[in-house]
A and B are shown apart, each in its own frame.
Chain A
């Protein structure tokens, strides 16, 4: 292939993971000349999704950012009285391309930072989502759905009449909390834990579990303020799309970086996969990237930790285990029929272990997510890494799931996502801006914050991903599409922006 790649850029971005793609899109959007490359032949780096075959191949080839991979095929232990189609390794591999297996799966709050960013920038036109069907909790070893909306609370069989009233009262109080800053509760509970507050409301143990495990996603030590903020974040995301406050990207989270890349390309960014970097040098005014026998020059350079050339990786510190992942393909969903109407739910469950000191997040995907064939389910288990053995890190959680809930596992896989520590990245003495790699979190708050912070370091006074006009609004030839301002937006979009701003004020998560 002839290499007619230009050689001079405002910004070169190496790696097409979520954070890098965000930065590339933001820079391109304000008119910077961007080259975005990736050594892999796929988009997304450690944020990508894979076909079954590609996923297995990946586990067999450990890298700096993905290691300790292992997988096991299991014989189907289907009971004879249930003559369902029995899946085999071969029949799964035959459908390999129907899978989108995520390395870094997560759900997004309906009014959370990702959704806000996608709407604000109009990148939402490249993505589709599935509303989560259920938010679950384990109660007395049983998997139950946590009622989210008023009608859920009304209809649920999980709670008694009295409990329903108590829960509604509690949630309404949380929702109204903060309107009056000098509210008695906020004075009384300042500096205490959210659990103490909850207990003081005289809710039942079951309701306390609902709130702690699924709604506020707290542990016993979480402060009153944080717990309240999280509860409000959950409540503020209700009633927007679907029945729960969460969304999952159709076809997997690996789609998201690509949406940002598409915007970058639309604004002139140049894309080149399968392009590795041999070395990076710099002078006072520019960076020089040696790649495939060519020297590419740029004023700025952003790089994923996983794609730093070996000669430079040491500047950013050793890469260490960050997230322990388990991935299971099963032929039976978790939980009862109620949780899996119409062939399986896309469900979320937060698990606790070691007396509530460790947590893990489980996302169950059915074919409605576009990430697996009908009749099969993907279970993504994620926990912050405490060792280099992902299976050991997840053993407690897996036991809670699989010991009491028969699930017909066909494939189980474990791996570790690694990245240099934040201090290492912050203290590196190079002009290369290194992104942080995936962190354990719900939604994309830390990732977006990372991208924002890198962007503002590069282009201090520029707007981060302002709204891209819709095709209908672009006057071709002669007019500058970016000249559109808020007042020229159609009414519905203006209203949408205002809604968002209001929502943003209500749900800012301070830490």
Chain B
């Protein structure tokens, strides 16, 4: 079994073409994918990072193109610990859509989810959204703010490392005011849910009335996507 202390789910939203996929791939693979081709068959990327001496597995989810016609499944937002809302600093309409995205986030995501506003494409010289405008919007809506360039690898590492550090802080504090802490709490009080990835372990115990000593609260397995080690 893999060795990590926490697993966090981070999801990205924002208009098509703002560079969500590029941010993810720059961070997880260190490359900037040329061209607009959709990444068929890839729906989330995983990267293990070390923050404050702890190994943390980040599961970073992309929209799979469902944002194109504003048809993102609600389930995409479920159990996210952090949510990155991205716009393109060289494209006013992508900024103007932010309130729509916030409405959707409010509707479907956990109310305690960590929210980060990201202005991407700082490498472009046709900027339309000045930094203070983005900053102000983030402040108003209780979000962290960062400008990035997936192309130049600017602030991309920083973005994800800061999210990881913040989530660890929340998970440790366990004051129940954050999604990460709530998830950690849920695990320990036995209200946990099950990811089906844990089948093989349980199945080995045999079925029928024989040796069925599994716990009544269905512990999530650290190997499953939904759970959180630790």
Contact indicator A259/B75 (Cβ below 8 Å):
yes
Q: Indicate whether A267 sits within 8 Å of B41 (C-beta atoms), given known contacts A127-B196, A128-B194, A496-B199.
A: yes
**Interface mask (A243-283 → B, CB under 8 Å = 1, otherwise 0):** 10001001100010011011101111011110100000000
Task: Tell me, yes or no, whether B36 is within 8 Å of chain A by CB.
Answer: no
Q: A237's closest neighbor in chain B, by CB?
A: B207
Contact indicator A272/B71 (Cβ below 8 Å):
yes
Minimum CB–CB distance for B212 against chain A, Å: 4
Q: Inside 8 A of B40's CB, which chain A residues have their CB?
A: 266-268, 481
Interface residues of A in 122-152 (CB under 8 A from B): 124-131, 133, 148-151
Task: Tell me, yes or no, whether B230 is within 8 Å of chain A by CB.
Answer: no
Contact indicator B208/A172 (Cβ below 8 Å):
yes
In the complex, A499→B198 CA distance in Å? 12
In the complex, A342→B75 CA distance in Å? 26
Minimum CB–CB distance for B69 against chain A, Å: 4
Task: Tell me, yes or no, whether B195 is within 8 Å of chain A by CB.
Answer: yes
**Interface mask (B45-63 → A, CB under 8 Å = 1, otherwise 0):** 1100000000000000000
Q: Inside 8 A of B191's CB, which chain A residues have their CB?
A: 342, 368
Q: Inside 8 A of B188's CB, which chain A residues have their CB?
A: none
- The number of residues on chain B lying at the interface, defined by a beta carbon within 8 Å of a beta carbon of chain A, is 55
Q: Indicate whether A131 sits within 8 Å of B194 (C-beta atoms), given known contacts A241-B218, A472-B46, A499-B203.
A: yes
Task: Tell me, yes or no, whether B92 is within 8 Å of chain A by CB.
Answer: no
Task: Tell me, yes or no, whether B226 is within 8 Å of chain A by CB.
Answer: yes
Q: A345's closest neighbor in chain B, by CB?
A: B216
Task: Tell me, yes or no, whether B79 is within 8 Å of chain A by CB.
Answer: yes
User: A5, A133, A149, A368: which contacts B69 (Cβ < 8 A)?
Assistant: A5
Contact indicator B217/A258 (Cβ below 8 Å):
no
In the complex, A251→B76 CA distance in Å? 12
User: A129, A239, A261: which contacts B194 (Cβ < 8 A)?
Assistant: A129
Task: Tell me, yes or no, whether B131 is within 8 Å of chain A by CB.
Answer: no
Q: Inside 8 A of B107's CB, which chain A residues have their CB?
A: 97
Contact indicator B43/A262 (Cβ below 8 Å):
yes
Task: Tell me, yes or no, whether B225 is within 8 Å of chain A by CB.
Answer: yes
Contact indicator B210/A243 (Cβ below 8 Å):
no
Contact indicator B212/A266 (Cβ below 8 Å):
no
Q: Inside 8 A of B211's CB, which chain A residues have their CB?
A: 150, 239
Task: Tell me, yes or no, whether B68 is within 8 Å of chain A by CB.
Answer: yes
- The number of residues on chain A lying at the interface, defined by a beta carbon within 8 Å of a beta carbon of chain B, is 72
Minimum CB–CB distance for A458 against chain B, Å: 20
In the complex, A79→B215 CA distance in Å? 36
In the complex, A258→B196 CA distance in Å? 17
Contact indicator A499/B200 (Cβ below 8 Å):
yes
Choose among B71, B197, B214 the residue with the greatest number of A CB atoms under 10 Å from its CB: B71
Contact indicator B69/A271 (Cβ below 8 Å):
yes
Contact indicator A262/B225 (Cβ below 8 Å):
no
Q: Inside 8 A of B124's CB, which chain A residues have their CB?
A: none
Q: Indicate whether A118 sits within 8 Å of B212 (C-beta atoms), given known contacts A5-B69, A131-B218, A499-B203.
A: no
Contact indicator B216/A128 (Cβ below 8 Å):
no
In the complex, A239→B199 CA distance in Å? 10
User: A1, A126, A240: which contacts B199 (Cβ < 8 A)?
Assistant: A240
In the complex, A370→B182 CA distance in Å? 13
Task: Tell me, yes or no, whether B209 is within 8 Å of chain A by CB.
Answer: yes
Contact indicator A239/B70 (Cβ below 8 Å):
no
In the complex, A239→B43 CA distance in Å? 31
Q: A232's closest neighbor in chain B, by CB?
A: B208
Choose among B39, B203, B215 the residue with the greatest number of A CB atoms under 10 Å from its CB: B203
Contact indicator B200/A250 (Cβ below 8 Å):
no
Q: A250's closest neighbor in chain B, by CB?
A: B193
User: B69, B194, B204: which contacts A242 (Cβ < 8 A)?
Assistant: B194
Minimum CB–CB distance for A191 against chain B, Å: 27
Q: Indicate whether A265 sits within 8 Å of B75 (C-beta atoms), given known contacts A150-B212, A250-B193.
A: no
Minimum CB–CB distance for B82 against chain A, Å: 18
Contact indicator A43/B206 (Cβ below 8 Å):
no
Contact indicator A265/B64 (Cβ below 8 Å):
yes
Task: Tell me, yes or no, whether A175 is within 8 Å of chain B by CB.
Answer: yes
**Interface mask (A466-492 → B, CB under 8 Å = 1, otherwise 0):** 001101101010000110000000001
Task: Tell me, yes or no, whether A312 is within 8 Å of chain B by CB.
Answer: no
In the complex, A243→B225 CA distance in Å? 21
Q: A154's closest neighbor in chain B, by CB?
A: B209
Minimum CB–CB distance for B193 against chain A, Å: 4
In the complex, A237→B209 CA distance in Å? 10
Task: Tell me, yes or no, whether A437 is within 8 Å of chain B by CB.
Answer: no
Contact indicator B195/A124 (Cβ below 8 Å):
yes
User: A242, A262, A482: which contacts B75 (Cβ < 8 A)?
Assistant: A262
In the complex, A166→B46 CA distance in Å? 51
In the complex, A111→B206 CA distance in Å? 12
Task: Tell me, yes or no, whether B65 is within 8 Å of chain A by CB.
Answer: yes
Q: Inside 8 A of B140's CB, which chain A residues have their CB?
A: none
Minimum CB–CB distance for B182 against chain A, Å: 12
Contact indicator A242/B74 (Cβ below 8 Å):
no
Task: Tell me, yes or no, whether B44 is within 8 Å of chain A by CB.
Answer: yes
Task: Tell me, yes or no, whether B73 is within 8 Å of chain A by CB.
Answer: yes
Contact indicator A43/B193 (Cβ below 8 Å):
no
Minimum CB–CB distance for B221 against chain A, Å: 9
Contact indicator B207/A242 (Cβ below 8 Å):
no
Q: A168's closest neighbor in chain B, by CB?
A: B209
Task: Tell me, yes or no, whether B173 is within 8 Å of chain A by CB.
Answer: no
Contact indicator A370/B193 (Cβ below 8 Å):
yes
Q: A259's closest neighbor in chain B, by CB?
A: B75
Q: Indicate whether A129 sits within 8 Å of B202 (C-beta atoms), given known contacts A270-B69, A474-B42, A482-B41.
A: no
Contact indicator B207/A239 (Cβ below 8 Å):
yes
User: A128, A263, A272: which contacts B195 (Cβ < 8 A)?
Assistant: A128
Known: A262-B76, A496-B199. 6 other contacts (CB 8 A): A238-B207, A242-B215, A261-B73, A262-B75, A266-B40, A496-B200
A/B interface sample: 13 pairs, CB < 8 A: A115-B199, A124-B195, A131-B217, A131-B218, A239-B206, A241-B196, A243-B214, A258-B74, A266-B41, A267-B41, A370-B193, A468-B41, A495-B200
> What are the 6 tightest A-B residue pairs by CB atom distance, in nearest-first order?
A239-B212, A131-B218, A124-B196, A149-B212, A265-B64, A150-B209
